[in-house]
Amino acid sequence: MARVFVLMSGGVDSSCSALLLKRAGFDVVGIHLRMTSLNNCSYQDFQDAKQVAEILDIPFYVIDIEEDYKRLVMEKTIEDYKKGITPNPDVLCNSEIKFGLFLNKVANLNDNDFIASGHYAKKEGELIKIPKDKEKDQTYFLWKIKKEILKRIIFPLGDLKKEEVRKIAAENNLPVAYKKDSQGLCFVGKIKFSEFLKTYLPTQKGYVYDKFGNLIGYHYGYYFYTLGQRHGFWAKNGPWYVAKKDVENNVLVVAKENDEILYKDEIYYSDENYFKEIKDGEKIMVRIRYRQKLIPAYIYPSEKKVVFIEKAKLPTPGQSIVFYKDDFLLGGGVIL
């Protein structure tokens, strides 16, 4: 019997994943990753995961990865904001922690062992595909997983919609069936992300200019703002949207909604990861932020460049650009 380690966060998705895998005949082991001792992370999630494991009658273990999580995700996120870019901690958490560090923690995995999660994604062969529930599609956050471990990963919810998952959980008396989905980052908690950053990065007054070089307002530090943001700074005759950031001089350049300065013909990327070979000039679909619609583009892997067929609004340095073709996840990179 094949063994599968299910990452159980305490939510309905991972709980239902464990249920479905046990029903399918797998030897299921529940794993709860303790990522931080900060009060921002809910002790209730641990209790919920443990209770579900007891109901399913599966082994349940807690792995403490607080120091690794702090180093690989939390500190890296803060450092990127300090550089003036907007990172994606969820991508890091998946590639470095859930499908990276965790694999090393259970180094005795054999060829018949798998790892499963409650992500809304689908496996077809050894590739990841957009799931049935396109509203919940989480493939955007999975592009950085190492290609060689895809064969070890199972996504049990790929052919289900969220409402179907809740129904299955309720029919099997799982107490998390209608639990509210978690929002935000574990190490941030319920406060605004900008307030969290202020505990690590000091406020630093700077000036706001329009694209013509007119001084029109002020802000509190370039690292608190991302492209497209329209709140958190003061500028007369608004609303304005952040169009550019001058990190060296602590300056924001803003523009009115739909101004041409907010759009780009092409972008370059780094830290690339591919699941499948892509040819220069190949037409693909890309996503430059979570839940944004897919955008047609041409890709040039040799130059690490993407040319949009129609101009794209606010591709943001530090965020992920993710590549698709025929609903398959081809890979991704970090926008420069």
Catalytic center residues: 93, 186
Distance of CA 114 to the CA centre of its chain: 22
Tell me 194's DSSP state: H
Q: Which residues of 279-288 are buried (b: 16+ CB within 10 A; e: fewer)?
A: eeeeebbbbb
Q: Please state, in angstroms and rounded to a whole number, the distance separating the CA atoms of residues 15 and 49.
A: 7
Q: Please state, in angstroms and rounded to a whole number, the distance separating the CA atoms of residues 149 and 159.
A: 21
Beta strands, E only, the chain: 3-7, 27-34, 60-64, 113-116, 122-124, 127-129, 153-154, 206-210, 215-219, 234-235, 241-246, 251-255, 263-274, 282-287, 295-300, 305-313, 320-325, 328-335
Distance of CA 260 to the CA centre of its chain: 28
Task: Give the largest CA-CA distance in the chain.
Answer: 69
How far is residue 218 from each of residues 47, 232, 238, measured CA to CA in Å? 46, 10, 13
HSE value, Cβ hemisphere, 13 Å, CA-based, for 56: 32
Tell me 95's DSSP state: I
At residue 254, the 3 state secondary structure works out as strand
Distance of CA 150 to the CA centre of its chain: 17
Tell me 84's DSSP state: T
Phi and psi at residue 226, to the nearest 5°: -125, 160
Length of the chain: 336
Written as one string, the DSSP assignment of 138-163 is -GGGGTTS-GGGGGGEE-TTTT--HH
Please name which of 127, 104, 115 lies closest in space to residue 3, comparing C-alpha atoms.
115
